[in-house]
Each structure stands twice: as C-alpha cells, then as structure tokens.
Amino acid sequence: MDVITSAAALRDRLQREPHNVFVPTMGNLHEGHIELIRIAKPRATCTVVSVFVNRLQFGPREDFDRYPRTLEADCARLKEVGVDVVFAPQEREIYPEPQTYVVEPSDLQHILEGAHRPGHFRGVATVVLKLFNLVMPRSAIFGKKDYQQYIVLRDMVRQFALPIEIIPAETVRAPDGLALSSRNNYLSPGERREAPRLYQVLCRARDEVAQGARDFRRIELEAMAELARRDWRLDYVAVRRQSDLQEPGADDRELVVLAAARLGRTRLIDNVEIAA
Ligand code: PAF
C-alpha cells in the first residue's frame, strides 16, 4: 500500500491505474468506511482512499479542530483490507491558496442539513470535485448515512458530466442500531446508551408510512416530540422523496425519513429509506 501526501506524487502513481475506484474519507475510520472499501475493491484493480479533514465544509462553530485525526491507525486498517493507495495530504496541498473558486450546489444545499450547516455542501462539493480531479476515478463510493451528501454529489457528477459512477452504500450500524460515525466517539457512556433511540424513532416513522399513513407532518412532529422528551435537541425529522429530498405528495412511494439532533455536545444524523 502506498501512502502519498502530494498531489504530484498521486498523479504520478495513478498514471499506472486509469481504472481506479475511490473512497473519499475524513479518516478516523470505522466499520462503515471499511464496508465502502469492501464494495470498492471488486470494482477495479486499484482502490484509492483519501484521508483529509476538509476545513471548507465545517462551520465556524463546528468541530473542525477536535475532529479525530488518527492517520496511523487508519493506514494500518486500510493495509489490512487491501487498499492500494492512500492519499493523505496536508491542508496546503489541497488548498495552496485561498479557495476562491467553489462548487455552488443547487438549492438542495439550503434544506435539511444545509439549513443548519450553511456552506457545508459547498465545502463538500468543492473538495470532492478537487479530489476527483486529482484521483480521476472510474467510480466513487459514498455512504447513505450522509444521504443528502450522496444526492448532492450524485447531481454534481451528472450536471458537470463527470465520467464517474457514484455508488451509494448502505449505512452500517452497531448491533443496537446506532449508525456508525466518527462523531459517536464524542458521546459519553450515558449518551451512547441513549443514542440508538434516533434510529428507533426513524424506524417507527418508516413503519407508519409504509403502512399507508400520509400525514407526514404529524409523523415528523411525533418523532421530534419523542426525542425531545428524552433531552434531544432537534434540528429536524423530515419525510422526503428519495430522488430529490423534496416534500412528498400523497402518491410518492420512494421516500426517506431523515433526522438530525443533538445529544449533549454531539450532533447525530441518520435516515431510513421507505418503500411505501
Ligand atoms: O463524508 C465525508 O467523510 C466527507 O464529507 C467527504 C465526502 C470525504 C468530503 O470531505
């Protein structure tokens, strides 16, 4: 496995691998990331993983500084699972000058996560386009835990006609249902015990919709009230169309219920798809 830190060395190494598959990450890898790599590996002869905590996608009061950086352990795990190339650049390699050209996603960037994290998807789309330009992968894998991120990037690739297949991967969960996330490390033991409730509440909402309920607003409000009773601070619970994350009509069938809420200092997001 080659661990590469410069863009020039990466291009040089990947000249020999025109058909690579790419898994972008911010490191602090867990089984969710490893699952993305398992999906990637059979698709190409060269699997590339980037590890880069992208300042551009963090708001001024978010956790950029305390985001866990565990490159040594990450590389050991990536080697075990047979990754070929790790790209772990310093910030100055990705942003050698202030990034004044950015990708401005559609209005999708302003709803749900975007309403609570202004500029987040601009930062994600900008760094992912830049990473795509460096890696030039044939395909790239993104977890559906970050559902809106997956939709934004899928649309970016389509709109800019990038020759890259975007492959979504199912969310990996702990045995008690909690979606795996690097931010779970911030939870205290008590919060960790409470955290699976987010998924349980989403599953109840999903079941109601799957059984035919169509008063989505009531379902969202009940889910939020249940979490609020347990001291969660809610950003949103929303039933949306899978295709574009807009509010569904009564005839829409392919839906997803998404949520974001804080437990103590930790902001968790999750979602479950509904085939109603
Ligand atoms: O999902 C992530 O870890 C990040 O948003 C990504 C896609 C690596 C961009 O920084």
| Co-location of 152 and 239 in the same domain | no
Q: Which of 169, 192, 218 is the last residue of a domain?
A: 169
**Is position 45 within any domain?**
yes
Among all residues, which ones are annotated catalytic? 33
| Domain at 155, CATH number | 3.40.50.620
Domain-embedded: residue 132: yes
Residue range(s) defining the domain that contains residue 50 = 2-169
Task: Specify whether 158 is located in the same domain as 216.
Answer: no
- How many alpha carbons lie under 13 Å from residue 197 in its C-beta half-sphere? 20
Establish if 66 belongs to a structural domain.
Answer: yes
Calpha distance 91→50 (Å, rounded): 13
Q: Verify that 49 and 112 share a domain, yes or no.
A: yes
- Mutate-to-test residue for ligand 1 from 22, 23, 26, highest number of ligand atoms within 8 A of CB: 26
**Which residues form ligand 1's pocket by a CB distance below 6 Å?**
24-26, 54, 57, 124, 127-128, 146, 149
Number of domains observed in the structure of the chain: 2
Q: The domain spanning residue 223 has which CATH number?
A: 3.30.1300.10
Are the C-beta atoms of 214 and 203 separated by less than 8 Å? no
Residues 160, 23, single domain; the answer is: yes
User: What confidence tens digit (pLDDT) does each residue in 35-46 have?
Assistant: 999 999 999 999
Looking at the domain assignment, is residue 177 inside a domain?
A: no
Q: Is 49 helix (H, G, I), strand (E, B) or coil?
A: strand
Q: Let me know: does 86 contact 45? Beta carbons within 8 Å.
A: no
- The whole-number pLDDT of residue 276 equals 63
Residues 70 and 53: beta-carbon distance below 8 Å: no
Q: What pLDDT, on the 0 to 100 scale, is given for residue 136?
A: 97
CA distances from 118 to 25, 100, 114, 126 (A): 21, 17, 5, 14
Q: Based on the domain organization, do 120 and 161 belong to the same domain?
A: yes
Helical packing angle, 147-159 and 120-135, nearest 10°:
60
Helical H segments across the chain, by residue range = 7-14, 31-40, 71-80, 91-94, 113-116, 120-135, 147-159, 189-194, 197-210, 216-229
**Residue 42: partners with Cβ closer than 8 Å, 6 or more residues away:** none
Helix (H, G, I), strand (E, B) or coil at 135: helix
On whether both 130 and 241 belong to a single domain, the answer is no
Q: Which atom of ligand 1 is nearest to the CA of 146?
A: 1
The domain boundary, picked from 138, 169, 200, lies at 169
Domain assignment present for residue 276? The answer is no
Same domain for 265 and 128: no
| Residue 255 confidence (pLDDT) | 98
**Same domain flag for 162 and 187:** no
Q: How far is the CA of 123 from the centre of ligand 1 (A)?
A: 10
Residue 18 confidence (pLDDT):
84
Is 112 inside a domain boundary?
A: yes
Q: pLDDT (tens digit, 9 = 90+) per residue, 236-257?
A: 999 999 999 999 998 999 999 9
Residue 156 belongs to a domain: yes
The low-confidence residues of the chain, meaning pLDDT below 50, are none
Question: Does residue 56 form part of some domain?
Answer: yes
Burial 152-190 (b: 16+ CB within 10 A, else e): bbebbbeeeebebebbebebbbeeeebbbbbebebbeee
Ligand 1 atom nearest 24 alpha carbon: 8
Question: Are 136 and 44 members of one domain?
Answer: yes
In whole angstroms, give the CA distance from residue 26 to residue 40: 17
Residues 77, 189 within the same domain: no
C-alpha 91 to ligand 1 mean position (Å):
15
Closest-CA residue, ligand 1 atom 8, reads 25
Residue 43 makes CB contacts below 8 A (sequence gap 6+) with 21, 138, 139, 167
Claim to verify: residue 55 and residue 138 sit in the same structural domain: yes
Q: Closest Cα to atom 2, ligand 1: which residue? A: 25
Same domain, 188 and 154: no
Query: Where is the domain boundary, 110, 139, 169?
Result: 169
From the number of C-beta atoms within 10 Å of its C-beta (0-12, 13-18, 19+), residue 80 rates as: exposed
